[in-house]
Amino acid sequence: MSTFVTTAPLASPVLNKLSTITPIVLTIAGSDSGGGAGIQADIKAISATGGYACSVITALTAQNTQGVTGIYSISSEFVEQQLDAVFSDLNVIAVKVGMLSDSDVIHSVAKKIKQYSPQYVVVDPVMVATSGDLLLQASAIDSLKSELLPLADVITPNLPEASALISVKVPKTEDEMTAIIGELRQLGAKSVLLKGGHLEKDENSTDLLILSDSIERLSTPRIETRNTHGTGCTLSSAIASYLAQGHKLQAAVTLGKHYITQAIIHADELNVGQGHGPVNHFFALHTQE
């Protein structure tokens, strides 16, 4: 197992592009009315890391830093209409998929990804909000596993999500994370970024990038803050943004890990809400002054 400590500098949105093609990233996810997660976090992260963000909304949530009080699902027909509108006009290089509320929407998204064949697909299997609220119907998990995950270049489950996907107990240690690698590979995605942020007793936050024939360990010091709303959305969107800019998978993941780490480090500079506040997506606007 290789170990990488993510100390790479944040890529400049202008100077570090690897191509002159506009790095268009489509986020397919739900809306967070509080602005900290979902589509709103995705657009912020993609923009802050140098990509051009477009979006397809799959659900509306009544949500703030304290929890989710309502979910209104968008019909699969209208999700498809949005997807056709974006793909028929914009040169989408990478797609990030987040919250999908039911099996019909999952089927529609998978069908359109197959039809339009974007170069990269990042799937964040959103099931539970930071507050603990269920965001994915239990009946839809099988559809997610059979139809969408096999299309992904990388999936980014946290430990509770990985547990739900492969029906095991939530890992409590890094050794237990390592023990489920084989089962996660069987989900069919090209790679898996297993996020260890829930191992709160560890002094480091360690993720495992599980490739077909190797494992890379990405570790950063754990940051003490309650403002972690939208971390999963933000990380997966940053990875998609870096892929769209031409970075290889390992580099995109490393850059994404560095970006989310800095966004968490600077999260307490914001004063948003009374619960789990958002990370600071645009920290670089202030730290580079």
State the catalytic residues: 195, 228, 230-233
Which secondary structure element, helix H or strand E, spans residue 25, and what is its range? strand 24-32
CA atoms within 13 A on the CB side of 284: 16
What is the separation of C-alpha 289 from the centre of its chain, rounded to a whole number of angstroms? 28
Look at strands 154-155 and 120-123 and give their pairing: parallel
- Please provide the size of the chain in residues: 289
Task: Region of 52 please: left (phi>0), alpha (psi -120 to 50) or beta.
Answer: beta
Contacts of 285 (CB under 8 A, 6+ apart): none
Which secondary structure element, helix H or strand E, spans residue 176, and what is its range? helix 174-179
